[in-house]
Homo-oligomer: A and B are copies of this chain.
Amino acid sequence: MELVDAGYAYEDGPAVLSGVGLGLAEGRSTALLGRNGSGKTTLLRLLSGGLRPATGRLRLCGEPVTYDRAGLTRLRTTVQLVLQDPDDQLFAASVEQDVSFGPMNLGLDEDEVRARVDESLAAMDIVALRDRPTHLLSYGQRKRAAIAGAVAMRPRVLILDEPTAGLDPHGQERLLEVLGGLGAAGTTVVMATHDVDLALRWADDAAVLTPDGLRTGPARELLADRALLDAARLRMPWGTAVAELLRAHGLLGGGQEGPRTAEELAGWPPGGGVAGRVPAPPRTSSRG
């Protein structure tokens, strides 16, 4: 899918987005970065059909999206947006009922709905929570239940707004795992996040919102571009600075990827020798 030269302005307000273009390649993961108020949420809602671009257009497999009932249904079975607060999406009394809502609205028969519910609960690793009421779930469980509701629509593109916010590190890991699983199954996953370290670690591509517009490209490249990070008022990811340091010391080859997490850095180099270029770091200091 593709957003071409799109713009949007809320009623009586200035343009939030203008001339924004974004193409999502199938099966790749994209991190959308930008500070609060940069139009991130607007962009997500344009992509998922919740808002209609004022200028420009949204294309799906080359064809422009229409905003009549048939067009929206086609869009919704292709693109699903998961909001930041799971309580904005969970309305039903139990997890199963909530997840079944989308498929029921598609007019599927009961067996098909049941199959989809099973599949989404399994994908989110919450089969055991099926009969639990949504109000007795933990925050992390509610997050996954909300994502399951979107996954049950079998979207080819899944967009998540700040999915890791409020989760503890363990919960974040589990979420990244299930998202990885969806990606491996062919779903294109887009994640809006404030966490540059997470973006660098997880995403193939990055899309960065600055006051001048949207910049897209490989995550590793964009998140090493200091001028861009400054313009977007983002922090520099540790991974970028560490990779530079390692390169400067000959511990990382030009085309190689640096460590993705602090744990990887602590065990660097992985496996003990990549092409003989990486000497084991000498232990001159004994502290720690």
In the complex the two chains form, what is the Cα distance from A235 to B84 in whole Å? 23
Contact A248 B168 (CB under 8 A): no
In the complex the two chains form, what is the Cα distance from A236 to B264 in whole Å? 10
Q: A245 at the A/B interface (Cβ < 8 Å)? A: yes
Contact A249 B281 (CB under 8 A): yes
Q: A30 at the A/B interface (Cβ < 8 Å)? A: no
> What residue in chain B is nearest A267 (Cβ atoms)?
B241
Q: A180 at the A/B interface (Cβ < 8 Å)? A: no
Contact A248 B140 (CB under 8 A): no
Complex interface bits, A233-260 against B, C-beta within 8 A gives 1, otherwise 0: 1111110111111011110101000000
Contact B245 A281 (CB under 8 A): yes
- Where chain A touches its partner, the secondary structure class is loop
In the complex the two chains form, what is the Cα distance from A186 to B283 in whole Å? 40
Contact B168 A266 (CB under 8 A): no
Closest chain-B Cβ to A93's Cβ sits at a distance in Å of: 23
Copies, count: 2
Contact A234 B138 (CB under 8 A): no
Interface stretch (choices A66-74, A98-106, A125-133, A159-167): A159-167
Contacts of A168 in B (CB 8 A): 35-36, 194, 233
Contacts of A249 in B (CB 8 A): 249, 281-282, 284
Given A140-B36, A284-B249, A285-B247, CB of A241 within 8 Å of CB of B266: yes
Contact B237 A262 (CB under 8 A): yes
Question: Among the listed B194, B197, B254, B284, which residue makes an inter-chain contact with A248, where contact means beta carbons less than 8 Å apart?
Answer: B284
> What residue in chain B is nearest A37 (Cβ atoms)?
B138
Question: Among the listed B36, B171, B283, which residue makes an inter-chain contact with A139, where contact means beta carbons less than 8 Å apart?
Answer: B36
Given A284-B248, A285-B247, CB of A242 within 8 Å of CB of B254: no
Contact B263 A36 (CB under 8 A): no
Contacts of A46 in B (CB 8 A): none
Given A235-B262, A238-B242, A261-B235, CB of A247 within 8 Å of CB of B169: no
Contacts of A240 in B (CB 8 A): 262, 266, 288
In the complex the two chains form, what is the Cα distance from A281 to B252 in whole Å? 14
Question: Among the listed B171, B194, B263, which residue makes an inter-chain contact with A167, where contact means beta carbons less than 8 Å apart?
Answer: B194
| Shortest Cβ-Cβ A-B pairs, 10 listed | A238-B238, A247-B285, A241-B262, A241-B265, A236-B262, A248-B281, A35-B168, A241-B266, A169-B235, A36-B168
Could you write out 26 A-B pairs with CB less than 8 Å apart? A35-B171, A36-B138, A36-B139, A166-B166, A167-B194, A168-B233, A169-B235, A170-B233, A197-B197, A224-B288, A235-B263, A236-B263, A236-B266, A238-B238, A240-B262, A241-B263, A241-B266, A242-B245, A244-B266, A245-B268, A248-B284, A249-B249, A249-B281, A250-B284, A250-B285, A254-B287
